[in-house]
C-alpha cells in the first residue's frame, strides 16, 4: 500500500522549481485554486509523451524530443508580477523569478521527469552509481556546446562545483545542502566527457542535487578570480545580453526594466526531433512584467498573453468564456509551494551591539502561547471561501499537501477557536482592557507590523483577513504590503521586521531541499536568521533537534524510515509554530489553443517542455 501511495503521489506532485533549495516565492506563479471537484475541471494529459532517449548524430549526443515534430516560428508571451528579475546569474539568485528565467538559459546535468519524478539526463547523458552508493560517475553529452560555440566538457562541471558551488560563491544553499557528515563531495575530471563525484556516506538527496546548473569555465573563471563581491554583481540586470554565454534552449535578447524580458532560441541547443530538426521551435519567449494580478488578467483577456494562472475568483468566468474563446483550462493538481506567516524570533545583538528586534516584541514572539493563540485565531476556512472562491484547502504542515512525505496525522490541523486563543494569552500574563484591546503583563499594548509583497492581490486580501482575525483577540496589526525586493532585504539581510506573509517554492519529492530553511545556519532560516558578527547566539532547543533531523533524514536511504524522520520535523514546526501555514492551491492554467505539443503535468506545469512547443496559427 505504501509503495502504491508513493507511485500515485509521484505522478500528482506539484510544480518542481528547484532541486537543491527552496526559494522565496513572489506569488505571481501561484495558482490559487485547489479542489478539482469544486473547480469543475478535470486533470488531463494532452499528448502522449515519448520515452527519454539519446541519439548520436552529426557528432552530438542529442537529447531526443519526447513530443511529435513541430514547426519553427512564432513566439509565446507570458507574464511576471512585480519588478522583474534581480539577476540573470543562477548561482546568486535568491528568488523564484530570477531562478525561473535563468533556467531558460542554463541547463544542469540532470532534470526531473514530469510524469514519474525520476531523475533524467539533461547536459549529462548517463549516470552510474557505485554499489556502496558513494561514487557517482557522470557521462556528458559529446558535442554539446555553449552559445559561443565552445564545447561543454568535464572541465566546466568540475569548475562549477569546486570553484563556484563548494567555494561558497553566490547563493550557498546548494553547498550547504551537500555537506555530508561534515564533508563536501569530491569532484574530479576523468576525461573530457566524464566526471566523478565521491561522497563520504550514502546520501539520499544527492542524485537530485548533482543536477545543478553548469557554468562555462572560460567565461566564469576570470569572474571568480575577482572575488565573491564581484561575482555577486556579475550578470546583473544591466548586463549586455550578448555577454551571457549559456547552454539552455533560450538566450537573453532584451531586458527592459519593469516592462519585459525577451529570449530568443539558442541555435546550438543539444536537443532535436525525429526529423533531425534542432529544438526549440519558437523564435522568442517573452515575459511581460505586469504590475499586479488585475493587470495580468486584463492583458490575457486582451490577447496580449498566451498563458495565465487562473485564480479561484476568476475560475467560473474563465470556464464560461472557454467555450467560445481561443484558450483551454488545465487542472494540473496540487501546488508544491507553501504560503504562511513567519515570526521574527531573533533575540540576538548585531555586530554593533544593537537588538534586531525590540525586547518587548522578542518576549511576545518567543512565547509559544502567543504564537499558538495567533494560529488558532486565523480563519483558514474563511480564506478558502472568500479569497479562493471555495476551491482551496487549509494548510497546517511544513510539507505541502502534494508531498510524498506529508505527515497525514497533523495535515488536517484544527479549527478556529477564539476562546482558546484568549485563554492561552491570559495564561502568559496578557490581559484585556474594557475595549477588548490586548496588553502584556508590563502594560504594553500588543501592536506589530505584518508585511507582504505588494501587487499580489490575493496575498494582500489574505493579509487583510489576518489583520481582522487578530483584531478579534485584541491585537493591533499594521498590515504593510511593500515592494518585493524590499521585503526580501528585510527578511534576509536586515532582520528589520515583525511578521511576514510570504511563500516558498517547494520540492514534493525531497524534503532535504528545505535544509536552507530548517537548518539553524540555513540561508532561509528566516524565523531566526543568523548574520556575521551576531552576539549572544544560542540555539533554541527545538532548533537543535531540527538540525539533527535534517542531517539524519538525508543519510537514510529507506523511504519508510525517512518518512518517519520527516514526520517528526513537521510535528516540531506544527507544535512550536515559528511559521504558521495557511492554505494550499491547485495549479490551474489557461493556455491559448495555438500552442501545440502541450504536455501539462502537476510536476512540470504547463510550459515545462518549452523547447518542444510550437505555434499553429
pLDDT digits (tens, 9 = 90+) for 313-353: 888 899 999 989 999 999 887 788 899 999 999 999 988 89
How far are the Cα atoms of 254, 401, 584 from residue 384, in angstroms, in the given order?
Answer: 39, 15, 9
Dump pLDDT digits (tens) for 89-127.
Answer: 999 998 888 999 999 999 999 999 988 888 999 999 999
Q: Which of 208-217, 263-272, 463-472, 503-512 has the lowest mean pLDDT?
A: 503-512
The pLDDT value recorded for residue 36 is 33
* Residue 252 grid coordinates: 537573453
Average pLDDT over residues 523-546: 91
Burial 166-189 (b: 16+ CB within 10 A, else e): beebbbbbbbbbbbbeeebbebeb
| 233 and 319 inside one domain | no
pLDDT digits (tens, 9 = 90+) for 277-298: 999 999 999 999 998 889 999 9
Which CATH number do you get for residue 461? 3.10.105.10
The band of 601, judged by pLDDT with boundaries at 50, 70 and 90, is: confident
CA atoms of 241 and 562, how far apart (whole Å): 44
SS3 614: strand
Which pLDDT tens digit goes with each residue over 141-166?
999 999 999 999 999 999 999 999 99
**pLDDT for the residue 20:** 39
Q: In this structure, are residues 150 and 246 in contact, taking their beta carbons and an 8 Å threshold?
A: no
Q: pLDDT for 19-74, tens place per residue?
A: 334 455 544 333 222 233 334 444 444 557 899 999 999 999 999 999 999 999 99
Is residue 504 in a domain? yes
Q: Residue 560: is its pLDDT beyond 50?
A: yes
Q: How far is CA 313 from CA 15, 39, 310, 327, in A?
A: 22, 11, 8, 18
Q: Examine the domain organization and report whether 453 and 501 are in the same domain.
A: yes
Cis bond upstream, residue 153 (ω within 30): no
The reported pLDDT for the residue numbered 325 is 93
Q: How many domains does the chain have?
A: 3
- Looking at the fold, whether 309 and 343 belong to one and the same domain comes out as no
Task: Give the pLDDT confidence score for residue 41 in this predicted structure.
Answer: 46
Question: Does residue 22 belong to any structural domain of this protein?
Answer: no
* Residue 250 CA to its chain's centroid (Å): 21
Residues above pLDDT 70, as percent of the chain: 92
Assess whether 326 and 434 both reside in one domain: no
Closest CA to 412 of 426, 397, 425: 397
Amino acid 47: pLDDT: 58
When pLDDT is cut at 50, 70 and 90, the band that residue 392 belongs to is confident
Domain shared by 362 and 478, yes or no: yes
* Residue 45 pLDDT: 45
587: pLDDT strictly greater than 90? no
d(CA 129, CA 206): 11
Which structural domain range is residue 192 located in? Answer: 85-238
Residue 88 has pLDDT above 70, yes or no: yes
3-state secondary structure of 278: strand
- Both 552 and 412 in one domain: the answer is yes
- Does the pLDDT value for residue 391 go beyond 90? no
CA distances from 43 to 119, 297, 336, 587, 599 (A): 24, 23, 16, 10, 11
Amino acid at each position: 500500500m505504501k509503495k502504491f501511495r508513493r507511485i500515485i503521489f509521484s505522478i500528482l506532485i506539484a510544480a518542481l522549481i528547484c532541486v537543491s533549495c527552496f526559494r522565496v516565492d513572489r506569488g505571481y506563479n501561484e495558482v490559487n485554486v485547489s479542489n478539482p471537484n469544486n473547480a469543475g475541471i478535470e486533470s488531463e494529459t494532452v499528448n502522449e509523451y515519448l520515452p527519454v532517449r539519446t541519439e548520436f548524430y552529426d557528432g552530438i549526443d542529442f537529447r531526443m524530443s519526447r513530443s511529435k515534430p513541430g514547426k519553427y516560428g512564432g513566439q509565446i508571451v507570458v507574464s511576471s508580477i512585480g519588478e522583474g528579475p534581480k539577476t540573470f546569474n543562477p548561482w546568486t539568485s535568491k528568488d523564484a523569478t530570477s531562478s525561473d528565467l535563468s533556467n531558460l538559459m542554463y541547463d544542469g546535468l540532470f532534470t526531473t521527469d514530469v510524469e514519474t519524478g525520476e531523475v533524467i539526463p539533461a547536459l549529462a547523458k548517463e549516470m552510474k552509481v557505485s554499489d556502496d552508493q558513494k561514487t557517482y560517475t557522470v557521462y556528458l553529452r559529446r558535442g554539446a556546446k555553449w552559445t559561443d560555440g565552445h564545447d561543454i566538457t568535464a572541465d566546466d562541471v568540475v569548475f562549477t562545483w569546486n570553484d563556484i558551488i563548494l567555494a561558497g560563491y553566490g547563493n550557498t544553499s546548494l553547498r550547504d545542502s551537500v555537506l555530508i557528515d561534515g564533508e563536501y563531495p569530491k569532484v574530479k575530471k576523468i576525461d573530457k566527457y566524464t566526471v566523478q563525484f565521491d561522497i563520504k556516506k550514502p546520501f539520499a538527496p544527492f542524485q537530485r542535487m548533482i543536477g545543478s546548473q553548469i557554468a562555462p569555465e572560460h567565461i566564469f573563471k576570470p569572474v571568480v578570480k575577482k572575488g565573491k563581491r564581484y561575482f555577486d554583481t556579475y550578470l546583473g540586470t544591466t548586463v549586455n545580453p550578448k555577454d551571457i554565454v549559456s547552454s539552455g534552449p533560450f538566450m537573453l535578447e532584451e531586458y527592459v526594466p519593469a516592462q519585459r524580458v525577451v529570449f530568443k532560441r539558442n541555435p546550438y541547443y543539444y536537443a532535436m526531433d525525429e526529423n533531425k530538426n534542432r529544438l526549440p521551435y519558437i523564435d522568442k519567449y517573452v515575459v511581460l512584467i505586469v504590475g499586479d494580478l488585475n493587470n495580468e488578467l486584463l492583458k490575457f483577456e486582451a490577447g496580449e498573453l498566451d498563458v495565465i494562472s487562473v485564480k479561484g475568483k476568476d475560475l467560473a468566468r474563465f470556464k464560461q468564456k472557454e467555450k467560445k474563446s481561443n484558450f483551454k483550462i488545465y487542472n494540473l493538481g496540487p501546488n508544491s509551494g507553501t504560503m504562511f506567516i513567519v515570526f521574527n524570533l531573533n533575540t540576538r545583538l548585531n555586530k554593533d551591539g544593537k537588538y534586531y528586534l525590540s525586547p518587548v516584541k522578542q518576549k511576545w514572539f518567543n512565547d509559544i502561547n502567543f504564537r499558538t493563540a495567533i494560529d488558532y485565531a486565523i480563519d483558514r476556512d474563511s480564506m478558502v471561501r472568500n479569497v479562493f472562491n471555495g476551491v482551496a484547502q487549509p494548510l497546517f504542515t511544513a510539507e505541502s499537501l502534494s508531498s510524498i512525505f506529508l505527515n497525514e496525522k497533523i495535515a488536517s490541523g484544527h479549527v478556529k477557536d477564539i476562546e482558546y486563543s484568549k485563554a492561552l494569552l491570559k495564561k502568559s500574563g496578557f490581559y484585556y482592557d474594557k475595549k477588548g484591546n490586548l496588553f502584556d503583563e508590563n502594560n504594553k499594548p500588543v501592536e506589530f507590523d505584518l508585511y507582504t509583497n505588494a501587487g499580489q492581490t490575493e496575498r494582500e486580501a489574505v493579509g487583510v483577513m489576518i489583520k481582522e482575525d487578530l483584531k478579534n483577540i485584541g491585537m493591533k496589526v499594521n498590515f504593510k504590503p511593500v515592494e518585493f525586493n524590499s521585503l526580501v532585504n528585510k527578511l534576509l539581510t536586515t532582520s528589520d521586521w515583525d511578521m511576514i506573509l510570504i511563500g516558498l517554492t517547494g520540492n514534493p519529492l525531497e524534503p532535504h531541499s528545505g535544509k536552507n530553511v530548517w537548518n539553524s545556519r540555513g540561508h532561509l532560516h528566516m524565523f531566526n536568521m543568523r548574520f556575521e558578527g551576531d552576539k549572544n547566539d544560542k540555539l533554541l532547543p527545538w532548533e537543535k533537534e531540527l538540525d539533527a533531523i535534517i542531517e539524519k533524514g538525508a543519510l537514510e536511504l529507506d523511504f519508510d524510515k525517512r518518512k518517519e524522520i520527516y514526520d517528526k520535523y513537521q510535528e516540531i514546526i506544527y507544535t512550536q509554530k515559528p511559521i504558521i501555514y495557511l492554505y494550499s492551491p491547485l495549479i490551474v492554467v489557461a493556455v491559448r489553443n495555438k500552442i501545440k505539443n502541450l504536455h501539462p503535468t502537476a510536476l512540470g506545469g504547463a510550459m515545462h517542455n518549452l523547447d518542444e512547443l510550437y505555434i499553429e496559427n
